[in-house]
C-alpha cells in the first residue's frame, strides 16, 4: 500500500477474509464433531450387534433345558478336535503323538419308567441333574453335550481307550447316587447310566460319525 488509507483497506479485507475463514473452520469443526458422534454411535451399535450375534450363536449351540451344548455344538466341537488331532500328527515326533480323541456315549437307564412313574417334570430334572453332575466330573479340557432325548456325549481330547474308560467309570459312579429333585424330597437311585466309549487315534482313517457308531455299539453292550 502506498498510503494509510489504502493500507487500511487492505487490512479490512484481510480481517473480513480471516472472519470468513474462522466461520468456515467453525462450520467444519461442527461437522467433524457431528461425524465423530455419529461414528461413535455406529461403533457402539456394531458392538451391540456383535454381542447379539454371539448370544444367538451360543443359543443355537446350547440345549435350553440342560444349558450344555446341543447336537450342533457337539458337531462343532468334534470338527475342532478332529482337526487338532490330524494337525498334531504331523507336528510332533511319533513318540509324542497325542493319545487320541475319545468319546463317551451316555444314556440314562429306565428313563421311560422314570417319566411314567414320576412325570415328565421329574424326567427334565433328571436330565438337568445328569448334565450338571457329568460336567463337574469331567476334566477342564473335556466337554459334554446333549445328543438327543436322554443321550449325552462326552468329548475327551488327548485320551486313549483306557483313560476314556476311567472317565466313564467316574461319571457312572457320580450319577449312581444322584438324587432327582421332585416335590419336597429327592428320589435317589433313579439316575443311573450306561456308557459306551470309543477312541480315534492319529493316522486312523475315521470320522466323527464312525466314532459315534462305535460308541453306540459299546453302549448297547453296556445296556445288555
Distances from the Cα of 36 to the Cα of 42, 48, 166, angstroms: 10, 18, 59
> Which residues participate in catalysis according to the annotation?
150
Distances from the Cα of 208 to the Cα of 41, 85, 161, 164, 200, angstroms: 45, 12, 16, 16, 9
Distance CA 132, CA 66 (A): 8
Distance CA 43, CA 122 (A): 47
CA angle in degrees (0–180, nearest 5) for 197-160-110: 15
Residue indicated by cell numbers 447336537: 71
CA angle in degrees (0–180, nearest 5) for 192-224-163: 65
Distance CA 12, CA 221 (A): 102
Amino acid at each position: 500500500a502506498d498510503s494509510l488509507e489504502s493500507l487500511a483497506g487492505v487490512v479490512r479485507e484481510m480481517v473480513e477474509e480471516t472472519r470468513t475463514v474462522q466461520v468456515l473452520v467453525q462450520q467444519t469443526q461442527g461437522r467433524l464433531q457431528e461425524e465423530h458422534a455419529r461414528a461413535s454411535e455406529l461403533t457402539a451399535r456394531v458392538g451391540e450387534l456383535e454381542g447379539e450375534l454371539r448370544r444367538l450363536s451360543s443359543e443355537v449351540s446350547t440345549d435350553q433345558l440342560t444349558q450344555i451344548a446341543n447336537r450342533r455344538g457337539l458337531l462343532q466341537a468334534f470338527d475342532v478336535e478332529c482337526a487338532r488331532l490330524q494337525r498334531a500328527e504331523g507336528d510332533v515326533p511319533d513318540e509324542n503323538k497325542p493319545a487320541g480323541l475319545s468319546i463317551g456315549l451316555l444314556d440314562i437307564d429306565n428313563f421311560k419308567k422314570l417319566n411314567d412313574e414320576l412325570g415328565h417334570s421329574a424326567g427334565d430334572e433328571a436330565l438337568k441333574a445328569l448334565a450338571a453332575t457329568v460336567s463337574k466330573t469331567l476334566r477342564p479340557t473335556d466337554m459334554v453335550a446333549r445328543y438327543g432325548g436322554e443321550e449325552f456325549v462326552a468329548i475327551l481330547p488327548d485320551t486313549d481307550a483306557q483313560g476314556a474308560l476311567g472317565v466313564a467309570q467316574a461319571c457312572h459312579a457320580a450319577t449312581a447316587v444322584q438324587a432327582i429333585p421332585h416335590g419336597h424330597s429327592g428320589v435317589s437311585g433313579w439316575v443311573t447310566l450306561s456308557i459306551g466309549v470309543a477312541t480315534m487315534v492319529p493316522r486312523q482313517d475315521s470320522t466323527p460319525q464312525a466314532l459315534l457308531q462305535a460308541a453306540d455299539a459299546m453302549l448297547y453292550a453296556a445296556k445288555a
